[in-house]
Structure 1
């Protein structure tokens, strides 16, 4: 396939479908304002549950979810979000 697959019609359709669901951010749980400029840290981005760098599918709807740009960047390519650490004091 020539060019970047993220610029292709199937990817744009997937992004539009996930955005239309208006789900809250999968990381922080807060609502995502669909009217924000794409450069805003609180704007919508498509997150892949299994990151592409770890073999996740670019176009599988089951691998796609809504996330704030800031939350997606903070998650990086980890498979899960950071869990709170238990206290060492027993």
Structure 2
């Protein structure tokens, strides 16, 4: 396969389909503003439940999740997600 598979039509179609669902970030639970510039830390990115470096499928819709750019970057290629810390005031 020549080139970057993330530039292909099937991948762009998957990104558009996941973005169109309007689901919140699966990592932090907050809404994602679709109007933000792609470089903004709170913009939409497609995250993979099983990271590609760990054998996850690039084009499987069951492996695709909505995430903020910042949340996706912070998670890296870990399979577990960091749970938010509980507040001391409860």
Taking structure 2 as the reference length, the TM-score comes to: 0.91
The Cα RMSD (Å) is 1.1
How do 1:64-83 and structure 2 match up within 5 A? 64-83=64-83
1:55 is aligned to 55
Greater Rg over alpha carbons, structure: 1
Q: Which runs of 4+ in 1 moved over 4 A?
A: none
**Count of matched residue positions in the alignment of Structure 1 and Structure 2:** 85
Q: Deviations over 1:25-47 (max 9, x none)?
A: 00100000000000000000000
Runs of 5+ consecutive residues of structure 1 not aligned to the other structure: 86-90
Taking structure 1 as the reference length, the TM-score comes to: 0.91
Runs of 5+ consecutive residues of structure 2 not aligned to the other structure: 86-90
CA–CA distance in structure 2, aligned partners of residues 23 and 83 of structure 1 = 19
